[in-house]
Structure 1
Amino acid sequence: MSQDTINALVSPEGSLEILSSHEVNRLKDRSEGGLYKLFRQCALAVLNTGAETDDCKKLMEIHADFDVRLVPQPRGLKLELINAPANAFVDGEMLRALREHLFSVLRDIVYSNSMPSSASGFKRDNPEDITNLIFHILRNARVLQAGRVPDMVVCWGGHSISRDEYIYTKDVGHELGLRGMNICTGCGPGAMKGPMKGATIGHAKQRVRNGRYIGLTEPAIIGAEAPNPIVNELVILPDIEKRLEAFVRAGHGIIVFPGGVGTAEEILYLLGILLHPDNVDLPYPVIFTGRKENAGYFQMIDEFIRNALGDEAAKKYEIIIDDPARVARIMKEGIADVEAYRREKQDAYYFNWMLKIDPVFQLPFEPDHEKMLALELHRDQPVHMIAANLRKAFSGIVAGNVKEGGIKQVEEKGPFEISGDPALLQPLDALLTAFVEQNRMKLPGSSAYRPSYRIVPRTG
């Protein structure tokens, strides 16, 4: 064992303490259908919090000798960690936040993989069943709390941002915390950490003692965006589509900071949903914000949205530049409208059941070269379908950038090819080029970005 690793026996903290023999056997199962590989990958990501890498494949290679084993105890269970990253420990004791995260991983992997098989008539491609699965995962994680008025602000933005951009996200989080708002993000670094860090100070000033900092992630991305230690409620959803639906169902408003392809994917997902006719009257405050130096970035995003989805899509969000206090005030006012609407319609505060989500946004898209090339990127389709297919294009690029499976495909077969209507593809190419030039594809200081995609002329 090197000086950078530790062997340890860890007791549960805050989550799952009891497993059935069937669940234990599945977690030990190293075959394709077992859960060992998935649990090990997520556990390693949690223990690697703070590491300067966004390459899931590289992380697994660096810690190839890491292992995690279940140790049954008379009063429950413990986890034996072998060659665990030393930065997860202080004086031989694991950081409590990371211990909580580690057992949250265990809880969600066990539940997500047992609940569908135990639910009578559950179908993985049925929209209602998918939404119910997300509800059950969030409820099992105790994220859904009855009796609370709407106060959950979802913050999206890049994990690869400048120091000044990060400080701005903290300033916005601070203003939200001063107004009693809680924070939900993708749980990683950058724009996912900043609002939480700012909110902790705002909450402290207002003596808010039960501040909530919810992190929603999924197994394929957790290695690239390890949960930051401020997260006090971590949930691992089965895939990106369920993660995105969890954001919009559990959140009461969304703030978007500058980011790269992952942020663009989130924006298209959100706008594609809000543009559905069934959601036209449903209040859902959305704010794009950044420093004054980011004005050009959001102008670029706004122009891309208007070109792809039309001016109606631009009515679904407000752009506020360099004014954290105004962002927080407008968001709080918007959430007050959400509360009034939910009360009038007798909808739950804690889970947005009324939001209509088309199945095209729910069914998992697992990118490969054939699927990426076959995407329907043209205007001869409903606007929500344009959003859905562009979302898939960005999702594939994210996979090629930071997800282990996508990275392997690009290494073996070259970049994913994207083809379609030049009226959509030329602005897309310009946007992606700008992301590369602004270093929004990789963490600052990491190796030069090698594109996981290639725009190709339409054939036929």
Structure 2
Amino acid sequence: MNTTTMNSATDPEPLEGQTNTTVDASLYPKGSLDILSREEVARLRDASAGGMHDLLRKCALAVLTSGSASDDPHLASRKYADFDIQVQQQDRGVRIELKNAPAMAFVDGHIIRGVADLLFAVVRDIAWTAMEMGPEDAQQLENSADITDAVFRLLRHARMLRHGDPNLVVCWGGHSISREEYLYTKEVGYELGLRGLDICTGCGPGAMKGPMKGATIAHAKQRRTNPRYIGITEPGIIAAESPNPIVNNLVIMPDIEKRLEAFVRVAHGIIVFPGGAGTAEEILYLLGVLLREENAGLPYPMILTGPKDSAAYFEEIDRFIRLTLGEDATKHYRIIVDDPEDVARTMIAGIRKVREYRIEHRDSFYFNWSLDIPLDLQRPFDPTHEAMAALDLHHGRRPQDLAADLRRAFSGIVAGNVKEAGVRRIHERGPFEIHGDADIMAALDDMLRSFVEQRRMKISGEYNPCYRVIR
């Protein structure tokens, strides 16, 4: 339940699709969030350098503007500079106080239920991270097994892990894609939904929204109850890209590396749509995992797909992978162009093999414990100018090791494009510099240039590269 007060407009330029009024509201969460410890509440209210209030405010504002098409990490904060959120401890639970919240999150004085669910997920996950994965706990996350266990515990706490036959498809792809590509992602989602598959994405717009939207129609036709539309994000991403309104199970991981591990641990198969630097980062991360000898023979269906006009995009991705990681890397994915039904049928066949393998190896259906992810891929990468310049992008390395550093290069570009800290670094010191072998740098530069030309780097406005490739 909630009580609300409508405020007068103070900003003549609301975000696209939003009214220019704000709302004060008191919310009383139900379910797991109605029980928080006093220490958790104190951390959420703490505005000091070690507190979580600023992070809570940014993430809460992102979900309250759910559906916004902007990827500017500062836009919502500028439009709603007076917004605040406070979590209050009460004898029988907690109360969430919103001040000057975007009116678009409310209808007839009541917060939209889906928005409320996402808001409660934000409070839940930030409270959990503060208590279980704070700076004082860093020493306990120094080995691979402990990090994987931390990812598992956060997903379990978010009630994202569910018993049942494998049916969860993770869909990766760009937030800035063409209309034709977006419609194609909906068609693929529709075919997946008809076959009883649930969808997990990065929770934003574009290729993260399309598959969910298509699946909702198919699930309705099949009279499926309780379908899952899972969004996995992290603070730097959600602050720049609000969740799309279809997400009904949101989880905020502490950093990009744990987000990526969550994706590949819960997925029974992965579909990659056209995208930009973030999509390239995800592809390279998964290939870096699957190329490891420890994961040889482990079935993991991975399909790269898009409409016929996107064929050249995947050809370029494929050439880059062959040049940098070798022919063996191409065995881990299949490219299917302009055929949503074939994508769905191929994914179903792949998931059957996953099911057989999990049964044979006594692994769970809801979390892929068998997948070996090395500590090098789990440690958070902080994309400073020095760290980006030091990446070892040269031939002669093991493919999985080169994939890991290539992933970091794209992660840094994503940070420089949309994450607040990365954008600030670029503003202060100029573009990141990326060094490596001449042919790798040439291929990387060509691919990034094509992303810019195809407007895959930014939704709106002109794109100013946050990187400089040194050939």
Q: TM-score, normalised by structure 2?
A: 0.94
Once the two structures are TM-superposed, the CA of residue 128 in structure 1 deviates from its matched residue by 0.7
Please state if 1:51 is matched with 2:68: yes
Contact 2:274 2:305 survives alignment (8 Å): yes
Q: In structure 1, how many angstroms separate the alpha carbons of the residues matched to 2:287 and 2:388?
A: 21
Partner of 2:219: 203
Are the structure 2 counterparts of residues 140 and 386 from structure 1 closer, same or farther at C-alpha, using a change threshold of 3 Å? same
Structure 2 CA distance for aligned equivalents of residues 160 and 224 of structure 1: 13
Partner of 1:73: 90
1:278 to 294, 302, 310: 294
Instruction: Tell me the percent identity.
Output: 58
Q: CA RMSD in A?
A: 1.5
Q: Provide the rounded CA distance (Å) in 2 between the counterparts of 1:407 and 1:61.
A: 16
Number of equivalent positions: 454
Tell me if structure 2 keeps the 8 A contact 1:56–1:403: yes
What is the one-letter code of the residue matched to 2:64? L
Q: How far did 1:124 drift? A: 2.1
Amino acid at match of 2:335: I
Deviations along 1:390-420, whole A, 9 cap, x unmatched?
Answer: 0000000000000000000000111111111
CA gap of 1:27–1:191, structure 2 versus 1, over 3 A, is same
Identify if the C-alpha distance between structure 1 residues 433 and 117 changes in structure 2 by more than 3 Å, giving closer, same or farther: closer
Find the residue that maps to 1:70 and give its secondary structure.
Answer: strand
- Match among 241, 248, 261 for residue 277 of structure 2: 261
Partners of 2:389 and 2:435 within 8 A in 1: yes
In the TM superposition, residue 219 of structure 1 has moved relative to its aligned partner by 0.4
Distance in 2 of aligned mates of 1:223 and 1:121? 24
Q: Find the counterpart in structure 1 of residue 184 from structure 2.
A: 168
In structure 2, the CA distance between the partners of 1:347 and 1:72, relative to structure 1 (3 Å rule), is same
Letter in 1 for 2:45: K
Aligned counterpart, 1:112: 129
Distance in 1 of aligned mates of 2:116 and 2:138: 35
Aligned: 1:41 with 2:55: no
Matched, 1:303 2:282: no
Q: Which runs of 5+ in 1 are unaligned?
A: none
Equivalent pair of 1:13/1:99 in contact (CA under 8 Å): no
Q: Which amino acid aligns with 2:57?
A: R
- Aligned 8 A contact 2:40 2:130 in 1: no
Q: Does 1:426 align with 2:456?
A: no
What is the aligned partner in structure 1 of residue 14 from structure 2?
none
Equivalent residues in 2 for 1:437-452, closer than 5 Å:
437-443=453-459, 446-452=460-466
**What TM-score do the two structures reach when normalised by structure 1?**
0.96
Matched, 1:22 2:62: no
Check whether the contact 2:38–2:89 (CA below 8 A) recurs between aligned residues: no
Check whether the contact 1:57–1:403 (CA below 8 A) recurs between aligned residues.
no
* Secondary structure of 1:84 counterpart: strand
Which of residues 85, 94, 98 in structure 1 aligns to 2:102? Answer: 85
- 3-state DSSP of counterpart to 1:269: helix
Note if contact 2:43-2:130 (Cα within 8 Å) is conserved in structure 1.
Answer: no
Distance 2:133 2:410 in 1: 28
Identify the residue that residue 115 of structure 2 maps to in structure 1: 98
Tell me the secondary structure at the aligned position of residue 16 of structure 1.
helix
Report if aligned partners of 1:160, 1:440 keep a CA contact under 8 Å in 2: yes
State yes or no: 1:399 paired with 2:425: no
The alpha-carbon deviation at position 164 of structure 1 amounts to: 1.3
> Contact 2:188/2:214 (CA < 8 Å) preserved in 1?
yes
1:7, distance to aligned residue in structure 2 (A): 1.4
Change (3 A) 1:118 1:419: closer
AA partner of residue 470 (structure 2): V
Partner of 1:327: 343
Instruction: State the alpha-carbon separation in 2 of the partners of residues 118 and 387 from structure 1.
Output: 28
* 1:182 and 2:218 matched: no
Residue type matched to 1:61 in 2? R
The answer on whether the counterparts of 1:46 and 1:227 sit within 8 Å (CA) in structure 2 is yes
